[in-house]
Structure 1
Amino acid sequence: MLTYAEIMTTDFAALTTAAGKWESMAGEIKKVEDRYKDTVQKVAMGPNWVGVSAGVAQTNFAGTRYEYGAAQIQAKAVGSLLRDAHTQFVDLKKKLESARAEAVEAGMSVSEEGRVSFDYARLTDSERRAYRNDPDGQRTVSEAVTKWQKHIDDRVKAVSDADEGVKIALDAVVLDSNKDVGGKGDDQLNGFNAGAKGDIELYEAENAKDIATRLNGGEKVSTAEVAELGRSFRDNADNKAFSQTFVGGMGAGGTIRLANTLNNRAHGGDESQRGLYRDLNKGLAGTLAGATAVPEFKGSDGKKLVYGTKAYQDAFTEWSKGSDAKFYNDFMGDLRKAGVEKYELDVVGDKIAVGTGHGQDVRGYQALATLMQQGTGYSPQFLGDLTDDMIAAEKKDKDIWDLHGSFDDKKDGWFKNDPVDGVLSIMSRDPEAATGYLDPKADGDKDRLKYLLKDRDWDFVNTMDWRGNIETTGKDTSDGDVRNGLGLALEAATTGHTPLGPGQDPWPQTPHTEAQSRIMHDVIGTLGPDQKVHENLREPLARSLASYSADTHEILAGLDGRYIRASGDGHFTEGGTTHMSASQKDLVQFIRGLSDDPEAYATLYKAESRYSNLVMEGIPQGATGDNLRNPLDKSGTVLGVYSSVMEDVVNDDRMGKYSEADWKAKVAYHVIGGAVTPLYFTTAGGVSVAFGDSLQRGVDTWAWQWGNEMKAEADTEANAKIADKYLTVNNQVPIMVEDWAKDRPDLSGQTVQSLSSQILNGHDRGVNTAQKYLTDTTN
């Protein structure tokens, strides 16, 4: 492996000098070939030399002439490889130099050997003493040194990886491909390489394919060769020539078999080697992403076209007719066949005991979805086309993914027995892909959203059993992680950002696009009337809906005619801002379905409380009359809806999973927590949102007082009573209003109390509104 010092002191210009000499050599060989043709070879071609010896001479002379031509091809290829190497090394050295400069700018010192240390010399005496006497400071310094050392080591490794690739190419380019022997031409065995290529990555791909093919065949492959395969994947992560050459050479079936081979070794076999094969799987997934990448398309204005729009689809259709799309079209066609075929995978076969039944294999699409979990950067078009193809396959055979055993625990959950849900999970990492795929307006007659929410059979755990040679049947069931991918994809599709993690709360005023709003509207309209939402969808959909609090606030308040008129279309745009709309009835019932999960209810309730606080903060100083009362009345109405939903939940006989006390306590823990990790992202409207930094004072005061009371309690029943106290609007409202009014010198104490009363009056209206929609959910 190259060292930092070697890279920083090497003059790579020598490579271009050598390349020029190799290319010049090709020209000189061409001169020799021409003289040979006009002198030596010409003799055997004339009329004066006939017979057996003439025939032998013609054959030998033609072979020699062929090798002169092959020598020129080989020399030019070597020159091209050296220039390719120069380009790579110069680029990678610049990145290493930049890494060093960044480290120095961050207060580090980097030695000539590439070792990073904190540059204490740049500090004053007092600063040095403070650092050395402060354990937290020392830890911070140590963490920073480790981070920058890794950054530089990674850049060194990238150059070393590239160097290995150059070596492979230079070793291979001088080996005769013998491409025109055996009656195909005048090629002489073990001569010059007439099939020489000038692209390093093509040789790396051929070498990688050879190792992978032997792995698939069960042949002995050394640890060094396995490491070399990983290096090739790592070094060529962004190189399309490598990716398409490798994947195209393996074919869809070979790629799937390789994924299974790697998974068998990553999750079984020699434990000391498992990490190596897991890394290989990640490399293979990245190679697949590169090979199947569809380019970004731009409109006439130079802006990127958004996946799922008509303009994008038109551009893709046109691109797919060209030569650049040949690999993609061929591979997808190959995958439609390989995806439904069966393959061996230990984790699947082991679910059936030896000697029982007939064994079971994994479908190609299941193996592919499992592989893809390890990678990133898949193009939206590939994800959408792949999901469509898998759905088409399951519509032909509803039992195609059925397998014995569950695959939802820590041991076997890495295997995606439901490949559709698996790819939807991957899609959630790319909100544009998720929105474009699930947008009802963008899918033609596919009805993807309706199919996934209502029509699809999600039960893929086969309960068929064997008693001797007799097959017994039972109703298929589902894994515990069923619909997880769908939930994450819906959150990304409706919000425009990746799914939120622990400690991150949705922002109630997030801007949305028309496509995102359409999806949210259809989800509400599809799932709301049942007043039931699958448990694995509740929390991601609650986070989605909470980001629409500015809209749901108005829908539930029921006073804004714009929302009422747009409830059928699902959205309207005003002043450049898109608003989601839905029928009040569907929304109330949808909230009820989500609220079976206490965390989902808490997410929605906290978002509404925050939005109500934003509304109050937006009331101008000195406002009077309706300008002061109406916003508060609306807030009270919406809080009344949530009170009614809570009452319906805790009085429901179906609450088997939670007791009333447990449900309320869990609501409390979520409301008073959250938003502890700042999360920055740019929303659909180009607005930067910072979770954890932009909370409102009134809500914070309410939650803070609540949290203080709960700190002293560890009993669920006691915490439930405290939660009941703070979830009661009569207690919440005065706290929030009084805190808001501290900066309102124009409001007297009596007026503040009157405004609290205004909210509570609205609360009664909200309770009545919700009660008429909340029916007996046991049906």
Structure 2
Amino acid sequence: MAAARTSRRTAVTVVIAALAVAAAAGLGLWWTLGRDDPDRDCAGLRADDRVRTVLGAAWRSDLPCTDLADRLHRATTGDQPGVHTLEQARAMRAVVLALSDSKDHHVHPDVRRPLAEALADYAADTHAVLTLVNDPYNAHAEPSSDAWQDDQGVHFAVRQRELVPALRGLSEDPAAYGLLRAADQRQAAAGLATVKPNPPDAQIEDQVGLAAMPAGAYDGIAADVLRERGTDSAQAWQKDALSRLRSSKADPVPDYATDPAGHLTAGCLDRIDPASASGLVQLQSQTVCLLNRWSASSGANLDEQKLGVLGDRALNTTDTGRQEAKKALTP
């Protein structure tokens, strides 16, 4: 009798252990595949009413994810980089809002890079939104707002707390993050290049702030991507993201007089080592690097004390940008 009870206990123990193993395997499978579940991530975006409106007659309920990404890319961009129609900007705005609503920032892998390429084409708009202080963009960011046109072209805006989650979802792909950040960095450099030698203090201070806040947002997005990854996965993502970012620089480096933004960004990207564990940390001083190179290349030649004060301002504003991005990504 005792032997029978022992046998039954052993059998129960084996069953429980098997169930535990199965549960663990199921959890591991969800962690590996569930985050990129095609049925959830792709079908959810495809079924979004805003996406259906953007695609119009090109929409189908069985549209493969790669085709969905391609058609959205074509609906939001034109033949000339950075130049858009009102209809295209309106479509991009709708796509960003749809991405922003993706649960837990999940975006299907087949969609990430094509939509990142499309959104990078609107870097002038996204950069302005991420500064948080651009009045025209803030005025057009409300849910009832629309794309608009002025003497500088066509624009769209959303709220920063809507843009950052959309960027975060796309940035799960490190190459997508690299190309989005590269486009933003060029906007920051172009802003600094508008400042002439011997500027009023307020003008250069403003441009430093406008460059640093979006850079901080991209720092915050990278931190959120890496937060859920193990060491090996985090290192691989960082290396790929930095490699894509560094490859965006002009080669050879253009003269400042010919392409000031390209000159400034190339000089700062040259110091980034994708294989270094501190590569992302180096990016936290991105605006300081752009500032120093602008001072030397433009002929402003600010003195060491002035550069130090402005550099501290850049670092503080970058940190604020990181904190604002973290708020936007916190449920």
Distance 1:452 1:489 in 2: 8
Is structure 2 residue 205 aligned with structure 1 residue 633?
A: no
What SS does the aligned partner of 1:582 have? coil
2:117 to 543, 556, 579: 543
Distance 1:676 1:749 in 2: 28
Shift of 1:587: 0.4
Query: What is the CA–CA distance in structure 2 between the aligned matches of 1:448 and 1:639, rounded to whole Å?
Result: 30
The whole-number CA distance in structure 2 between the counterparts of 1:740 and 1:704 is 15
2:61 matches 1:489? no
CA offsets, 1:315-354, max 9 Å, x none? Answer: xxxxxxxxxxxxxxxxxxxxxxxxxxxxxxxxxxxxxxxx
Shift of 1:756: 1.8
Partner Cα distance (2:189, 2:268) in 1: 11
Find out whether 1:608 has 2:184 as its counterpart.
yes
State which of 129, 135, 149 in structure 2 corresponds to 1:573: 149
| Equivalent residue, structure 2, for 1:520 | 92
TM-aligned CA deviation for residue 747 of structure 1: 2.1
- Seen in structure 2, the aligned counterparts of structure 1 residues 573 and 747 have a Cα distance that, compared at 3 Å, is same
The alpha-carbon deviation at position 759 of structure 1 amounts to: 1.6
Please state if 1:673 is matched with 2:227: no
Contact 1:533-1:594 at 8 Å conserved across structures: yes
Question: Is residue 305 of structure 2 the alignment partner of residue 750 of structure 1?
Answer: yes
In structure 1, the partner of 2:265 is 699
Q: Deviations over 1:482-521 (max 9, x none)?
A: 42222222223222039xxxxxxxx6xx122211110110
Q: Which residue matches 2:295?
A: 741
Report Cα offsets for 1:295-315 as digits up to 9, x if no partner.
xxxxxxxxxxxxxxxxxxxxx
Structure 2 counterparts to residues 226-625 of structure 1, below 5 A: 447=53, 449=55, 456-457=61-62, 482-497=64-79, 510-530=82-102, 531-567=105-141, 568=143, 569-575=145-151, 577-625=153-201
The letter for the 2-side match of 1:772 is K
Superposed CA deviations along residues 48-90 of structure 1, whole A, max 9, x for unmatched, are xxxxxxxxxxxxxxxxxxxxxxxxxxxxxxxxxxxxxxxxxxx
Size of the aligned set, in residue pairs, is 273
In 2, the alpha carbon distance for the partners of 1:669 and 1:746 equals 31
Equivalent pair of 2:113/2:170 in contact (CA under 8 Å): yes
Q: Which runs of 5+ in 2 are unaligned?
A: 1-49, 253-258
Shift of 1:676: 7.0
- Could you tell me which amino acid in structure 1 is paired with residue 189 of structure 2? N
CA contact (8 A) 2:212 2:321 kept: yes
Q: Tell me the SS of whatever aligns to 1:619.
A: coil
1:651 to 1:559, Cα distance in 2 relative to 1, 3 A: same
Matched-pair contact (CA < 8 Å) for 1:635–1:762: no
Determine if contact 1:572/1:581 at 8 Å carries over to the other structure: no
Distance 1:769 1:640 in 2: 8
Q: Is 1:726 aligned to residue 282 of structure 2?
A: yes
CA distance in 2, matches of 1:705, 1:747: 22
User: How has the CA–CA distance of structure 1 residues 532 and 751 changed in structure 2, closer, same or farther, with 3 Å as cutoff?
Assistant: same
SS at match of 1:745: coil
Looking at structure 2, the residues matched to 772 and 451 of structure 1 have their Cα atoms a distance apart, in angstroms, of: 38
Over aligned residue pairs, what C-alpha RMSD do you find? 3.1
| Counterpart Cα distance in 2 of 1:756 and 1:663 | 29
| Residue 451 (structure 1) shift | 10
Compared CA separation, residues 774 and 753, structure 1 to 2 (3 A): same
Q: Which residue of 2 aligns with 1:208?
A: none
Higher Rg? 1
Q: Deviations over 1:129-182 (max 9, x none)?
A: xxxxxxxxxxxxxxxxxxxxxxxxxxxxxxxxxxxxxxxxxxxxxxxxxxxxxx
Deviation at 1:666, TM superposition (A): 0.4
- Measure the CA separation in 2 of the matches of 1:651 and 1:452: 38
> How many percent of aligned residue pairs carry the same amino acid?
25
For the structure 1 residues 694 and 733, does the alpha-carbon distance in structure 2 shift closer, same or farther, using more than 3 Å as the test?
closer
Partner letter of residue 546 of structure 1? A
Closer, same or farther: CA 452–527 of 1 in aligned 2, 3 Å: farther
Residue 695 of structure 1 deviates from its aligned partner by: 5.5
Q: Distance in 2 between matches of 1:490 and 1:703?
A: 31
Aligned equivalents of 1:696 and 1:677: distance in 2? Answer: 9
CA contact (8 A) 1:589 1:774 kept: yes
- Residue 573 of structure 1 aligns to a residue in which SS? strand
Gaps of at least 5 residues in structure 1 are 1-439, 459-481, 499-506, 679-692, 711-718
Describe the shift of the 1:533–1:570 C-alpha distance in structure 2 as closer, same or farther (beyond 3 A).
farther
SS in 1 for 2:271: helix
The equivalent residue for 1:648 is 224
For residue 533 of structure 1, give the secondary structure of its aligned residue in structure 2: coil
Q: Kindly tell me: are residues 451 and 600 of structure 1, through their superposed partners in 2, closer, same or farther at Cα, counting changes over 3 Å?
A: farther
Asked if the contact 1:661/1:720 (under 8 Å) is kept, the reply is no
What secondary structure is seen at the aligned counterpart in 2 of 1:447? Answer: helix
- TM-score (ref. length: structure 2): 0.74
Shift of residue 722, structure 1, vs aligned partner? 4.4
Question: Do 2:288 and 2:314's aligned partners in 1 also have CA atoms closer than 8 Å?
Answer: no
Alpha-carbon distance between aligned partners in 2 of 1:677 and 1:636, rounded to the nearest angstrom = 25
* Displacement after TM superposition at 1:626 (Å): 2.3
Contact 2:178–2:241 (Cα < 8 Å) also in 1: yes
Specify the code of the residue in structure 1 equivalent to 2:238.
K
Partner of 1:26: none
Per-residue deviation at 1:600? 0.4
Q: Distance in 1 between matches of 2:267 and 2:147?
A: 34
